[in-house]
Amino acid sequence: MYPDRKKVAVANAGDIPKVGYVYDVRMKHHFNLNEVEYPHPEDPRRIYWIYDILDRSGCLKIMRPVNIHPVTDTQILRAHSRSHLEFLRSTELMEKPSLIAAQSKYEDVYLCALSLYCARLSAGGLLALCNEVARGNLHSGLAIIRPPGHHACQNKPMGFCLLNNIGIAIKDLQTCSVVQRILVVDWDIHHGNGIQDMFYSDPSVLYISLHRFDSDFFPHGSAGDCTKIGKGEGRGYNINVPWTNEGVSDGDYLYAFRKLILPVAREFKPDMIIVACGFDAAACDPIGECNVTPECYATMTAMLKSVCPKLVLSLEGGYNLEAIANSALGCAKALLNIKWKAGLVPEAASVQEYTTLPEAEINGFPVEHKIFAPTWLASPKWSPAEQVPECLKAKPSELGKDVVHRVIQEVGRYWQCL
């Protein structure tokens, strides 16, 4: 399935940029206490699968590891309230019944005694990588981290997220005056309400999110609508691309990039780009129910890199282990200037039940996510036997084009390029 390490095709040795990554196996210790009874899609194995495919493909051999240090209280409090931090700290001393009672007060959150420590590692890893890239020690990087962060609000955890990793990293960069203008592109299939709220009136941070915004899709409410464009000095610096249906594909994403995201990004002239890099729009994802391919994720990465080479991808969602691994590999290859080669990994997400895969047990709990794989694979939207499509030739849907045009109407007066 994986190419031999020696066969990784690079344009030429001199073209390999300095690409960093962060990964720490300890982040797997944030886990669901009810895992046996209620298997959770935010699976601790997610980061291992990405790390493993990068290792087997030979990419890690030419990438540079960055040391992770847990974020401090001071760094957390730049983005979150003290009451939020105190609540998370209180969970470190709780027993299982108290933890389950505490997590039930929040929307789609699970907790264990090590959750805050893992969240500190996750945010600390991204912060360290962003600083290395911002200061020019690295050209770009990939943060293989969990728990994710883009839903975490100033005052509460939500949506699998405890600390807002990107929010904490940006606040640190702003405090240190390392960069002036930061572009955040959030291609997780869920709207990053937490990031939006933190920078809604900040014109130095341009937030662009592509996400599903149909009935009953998380997060609920109107925050992800295209009419939410920022406030005060930040008006026009918050851009939402709200897909109104499932099944969104490469053509829709690349149409949005060509018509909206790249022109605005070039006009904004960011000093750095951070991607809220969720892979739950990928084909075979059980929650996103869309059809974005690894090739498309690689292409979007390359497009953003052409706007600003200081680019950091930070893992958010994505709940099919094969799909997130292959999609992350596509992004890593784009950062490394490795040529795309048809038939070479990334491949289409393959059909396997999780119990046949590595790490069928996490923290002493058997993980049998059979409730997921058969459901996706029965879908007519994707056949694992299909070849990965040539995404640049993909056509947008009429619904997708309509969404992009509506967004342009909302924010066009703020951007000359539109």
Q: Annotated active-site positions, please?
A: 151
Q: Any idea what DSSP says for residue 158?
A: B
350 and 388 Cβ atoms separated by less than 8 Å: no
Q: Quick one: CA torsion of 126, 172, 210, 337, rounded to 10 degrees?
A: -50
Whole-number Å distance between alpha carbons of 128 and 88: 22
Whole-number Å distance between alpha carbons of 413 and 43: 42
Q: Which residue has the tokens 């690409």?
A: 19
Backbone angle region of 38, left / alpha / beta, with phi > 0 → left and psi within -120 to 50 → alpha: beta
Distance linking the first and last C-alpha atoms of the chain = 44
Q: Which residue has the tokens 């149409």?
A: 255
Q: Which residue has the tokens 């690689």?
A: 298
DSSP reduced 3-state for 384: coil
Q: Which long-range contacts (CB under 8 A, 24 or more apart) does 85-92 make?
A: 88/115, 88/116, 88/119, 88/157, 88/162, 88/163, 89/116, 91/115, 91/116, 92/116, 92/117
Whole-number Å distance between alpha carbons of 42 and 319: 6
Instruction: Please report how the helices 115-134 and 165-175 are oriented relative to each other, as an axis angle in degrees rounded to 10.
Output: 40
Whole-number Å distance between alpha carbons of 311 and 308: 7
Measuring CA to CA, how many Å separate 99 from each of 114, 115, 256? 11, 10, 42
How far does Cα 25 stand from its chain's mean position? 18
